[in-house]
Structure 1
Amino acid sequence: MQNVAVVGAGLVGSLQAILLAKRGFKVDVYERRPDLRKAEILAGRSINLALSDRGWKALDKAGISDEIRKIAIPMFGRKMHAVDGTLTYQPYGKENQAIFSVSRGGLNQKLMNLADDYPEIGYYFNMRCEDIDFDSNTIRFTDTEKDQIVEKSYDAVFATDGAFSAVRNRMMKYPMFDYSQSYLSHGYKELVIPPNEDGSHKIDKNCLHIWPRGEFMMIALANLDGSFTVTLFFPMEGELSFASIDTPEKVKDFFEKTFPDSIPLMPTLLEDYFSNPTSTLVTVRCNPWNHGTQAVLMGDAAHAVVPFYGQGMNAGFEDCTVFDELLEQYGDDWNTIFSEYSRLRVPDGNAIADLALNNYIEMRDSTADPDFLLRKKIERKFSDLYPNDWMPLYEQVTFSHIRYSDALKRGQYQRGIMDEIMQTEGIYEKWDSEEIMNRIAEKAKTK
């Protein structure tokens, strides 16, 4: 049995540990933080996650999807909140297709508890990774509880230690390793819509709620306890920004003008705004995702993305799926497994980074735009008529296992067709006509 290390006990690390243990590996999981299983999960620290098909596939592989469904709430569409309180609903896909709201902390606890069922998996907490010697594959940790250095050697190391990965930092010191990071000029802050007194939700729990306002937006996802985790995405600097909205009076005035229907829902708005941290949004790209057969990057360590496609966790879980499929295909040929993993996943990591950045503009600007809503209706009708010729980009990303890189290319081609269709004179009157459907069909079939 080979001994492997997983550095980082987050979502991807815990799932990867389970998949490796199922294949007979002895897995040691190291985490710099204390044991999350003993912590109280509080709102205000982490964006709620949207679990979709790519994530469910990995959880199915691990045999734990039924357990995760117990802590997930289906969301069948977006509900847009206009300034005047008008609500507009847009389904995510076909009937009964949904993405699922899950608490990051709650999901992480669940995965770690499920990993406890495997005697092959050992967890080690308060262990900060300092460095790794790839010649001997020896990892050096600081045990922050005991204030001492610990060194251990492994056959392979799986780096799932996040956007500022210590393992990746060592890989960057070698030639031919490309790396970039870029911050969005916007950050985010979490707020809370508490439950009603009877524990029920104050607004529709089966929708992702969006308050699109051009340069910024707010979203809300339901929790099991009847509350909603609300996330304000807002410029870090500028006239309207986290830097300038810095007093209770300014916050109250801003929300009354910008998100008036949310105020009755958030009685602790001012307290949450000033007590919860303002967090940044970073995109990380690198290549390759492996260092020989010694180490491999997964999750945010390989491809941190902004959260606007709801695919950060799903992409990380898909890393686990792809690696497990390569293990199935190539057995103990580690050279092929590691190099193929990197070859396959790097283009997809770059693609989902681009898709996520593009989707921020769509969510904050376009979801309230009548042209955008009509475009989605046309796409939906055409896709229903010709499912083999057209799958909307959102469905390719969220409800399929089409590679992200292929979805990005197809989406760009479809956008060109729809840009042309939307220029049709009288499109609002004849959007669902046979003429429009035929025109799209001609263009779609030339691809």
Structure 2
Amino acid sequence: MSDPILTSSDPTAQRSVAVVGAGLVGCLAACFLARRGYAVTVYERRPDPRLTAEERGRSINLALSERGIDALRRLGLDEQVMAPALPMHGRMVHGVDGTQTFRSYSADGRQHINSISRSALNATLLDAAEKAPDVRVVFGHRLTGLDVRTAQLTFETTDGPLEVSPDWVVGTDGAGSAVRQALMAAGVVTAEEDWQPYGYKELTIPARDGEFAMDPDALHIWPRGGSMMIALPNPDRSFTCTLFWPLDGPGSFAEITTAEQVAEHFRRHYPDVPPLAPDHVSDYLHNPIGPLGTLHTSPWQHDGRFVLMGDAAHAILPFFGQGANSGFEDCVALDQLLESTGDDLRLALPLFESARRENAEAIAGMAADNFTEMRDKVNSRLFQLTTRGEHLLEKWLPVYRTRYELVSFTTVPYAEVVRLVRRQRRLVAAGAAAGLAVLAAIGGGAWRSR
């Protein structure tokens, strides 16, 4: 029999939820939970980011696409969030010789992803959470203790330790989740971190005479085989750039450490960047190096009282622009399962994990593949021909969709995207083989008739 606190048997009893982490997923989860009538307190270890300066080198822009927008739309937040977003209809590939080539994301050229500042989006969602009924957001609360038997949480605050005992706990505190680590320490969760031999560092291309220094309708990419840089536009007409370089070895962060080395490396490998980014050497030397990795957690939930969402459960590489989009989908899935189970957490939380785990693993794999594609393949003649061929197939066969379009412009589950793409490729290969066989037969018959 389920614990009566954890079921909806008494519809007049308001249950309390502690959401640990006031980032993007935590704020959106709080909005969904408030709509269901929960009393939500969101605990954040940092100061209010709306009142403090942005942490240097940590503001990587997000590429918000249909999955994330769909979640926002369900709460009526889409128009507000998307107002400052900038559409990007394709990639602008920068060659070593300074040439630029635009490559559309879709066959018709109309589909686009959206560049949006992480900090601006977080501020908007914090505002939305605080306006929701029965939601309280508190800052400067660092989780230091968690009792898996009682769900009691202990926080360190400026006023001393604070103990709270919510009915259940939602961990949305990112890849370094204190909730996950506490559950691991209690022996009820395990996690495997798959770190890449790469890191990231942020640079800035400022506005030029009040205008964009490059085309703002594109995600700019400098693929260099083994490393790359990308740039996304901002509403202030600057671009946020991110270097994705090896941690060690030739052309790595470890090797390039002085102003002279930075300047020389950019002159050789990114010759069009120094005129656009006059502070690129200073940015490189002073901005931190961020790690890149994939997180595999098992399980994501425990005892109908704890659940991990977003990066706290399944952090992925950023190379498909799906980290936030996937976390927002988590919020939708949890909301739907709470609805279908009558808010019975002992049923809903395991169902949430089973519904989302396959999809999280699927997008993790596709994100890793996309890093190789962006870094190494976009300049390949074969890759370019394949992309053009896929766009032609989209025009000729309305049911055909590329992997990129299925991931970015639909809400088809990630795992189903993987299966659909495999089926499409098998059918295309079979059709091509049949076509060649027909041509060979026709050619053979023509030769025999001579």
**1:262 is aligned with what amino acid?**
V
Say which of 73, 96, 115 aligns to 2:110: 96
For 1:420 and 1:237, locate their aligned partners in 2 and report how far apart those are by CA, in whole Å: 44
Corresponding residue of 2:183: 171
Give the Å deviation of 1:24.
Answer: 1.3
Corresponding residue of 2:202: 190
Give secondary structure in 2 for the equivalent of 1:218. Answer: strand
Give secondary structure in 2 for the equivalent of 1:116. Answer: helix
Specify whether residues 272 and 228 from structure 1 end up closer, same or farther in structure 2 by C-alpha distance, changes over 3 A only: same
For 2:156 and 2:394, locate their aligned partners in 1 and report how far apart those are by CA, in whole Å: 55
Give the Å deviation of 1:106.
Answer: 1.2
Say which of 295, 298, 302 aligns to 2:309: 298
Specify whether residues 201 and 43 from structure 1 end up closer, same or farther in structure 2 by C-alpha distance, changes over 3 A only: farther
Say which of 53, 68, 73 aligns to 1:55: 68
Can you list the C-alpha shifts for 1:144-200, whole angstroms capped at 9, x where unaligned?
A: x23x21110111111001111111122224557442001110101000000012x21
Give secondary structure in 1 for the equivalent of 2:161. Answer: strand
Residues 188, 302 of structure 2: 8 Å contact kept = no
For 2:81 and 2:429, locate their aligned partners in 1 and report how far apart those are by CA, in whole Å: 40
Corresponding residue of 1:401: 411
- Larger CA Rg, structure 1 vs 2: 2
Give the Å deviation of 1:292.
Answer: 2.0
Corresponding residue of 1:150: 162
Say which of 211, 219, 238 aligns to 1:227: 238
**1:312 is aligned with what amino acid?**
G
Give secondary structure in 2 for the equivalent of 1:37. Answer: coil
**2:379 is aligned with what amino acid?**
A
Corresponding residue of 1:126: 140
Structure 2 gap segments, 5+ residues each: 1-13, 440-450
Corresponding residue of 1:242: 253
Residues 148, 183 of structure 2: 8 Å contact kept = no
Give the Å deviation of 1:204.
Answer: 0.7
Corresponding residue of 2:332: 321
Give the TM-score normalised by the residue count of structure 2. 0.90
Structure 1 gap segments, 5+ residues each: 425-433, 440-447
Can you list the C-alpha shifts for 1:329-362, whole angstroms capped at 9, x where unaligned?
A: 2222222211110111111111111111111000
- Point out the more displaced range, 221-230 or 115-124: 115-124
User: Over aligned residues, Cα RMSD in angstroms?
Assistant: 2.1
- Point out the more displaced range, 216-225 or 282-291: 282-291
Corresponding residue of 1:45: 58
Give the Å deviation of 1:385.
Answer: 1.6
**2:253 is aligned with what amino acid?**
F
Say which of 331, 335, 342 aligns to 2:342: 331
**2:75 is aligned with what amino acid?**
A
Give the Å deviation of 1:40.
Answer: 3.0
Residues 375, 418 of structure 1: 8 Å contact kept = no
Number of corresponding residues: 424
Corresponding residue of 1:428: none
Give the TM-score normalised by the residue count of structure 1. 0.91
Check if 1:113 corresponds to 2:127: yes
Residues 44, 189 of structure 1: 8 Å contact kept = yes
For 1:421 and 1:164, locate their aligned partners in 2 and report how far apart those are by CA, in whole Å: 48
Give the Å deviation of 1:42.
Answer: 5.9
Can you list the C-alpha shifts for 1:213-261, whole angstroms capped at 9, x where unaligned?
A: 0000000000000100000100011121001111111111110110111
- Point out the more displaced range, 225-234 or 40-49: 40-49
Give secondary structure in 2 for the equivalent of 1:309. Answer: coil
Give the Å deviation of 1:133.
Answer: 1.0
**2:35 is aligned with what amino acid?**
K
For 2:43 and 2:187, locate their aligned partners in 1 and report how far apart those are by CA, in whole Å: 27
For 1:235 and 1:327, locate their aligned partners in 2 and report how far apart those are by CA, in whole Å: 43
Check if 1:310 corresponds to 2:321: yes
Corresponding residue of 1:141: 155
Residues 96, 271 of structure 2: 8 Å contact kept = yes
**1:103 is aligned with what amino acid?**
S
Can you list the C-alpha shifts for 1:412-432, whole angstroms capped at 9, x where unaligned?
A: 45456778999x9xxxxxxxx
For 1:246 and 1:181, locate their aligned partners in 2 and report how far apart those are by CA, in whole Å: 27
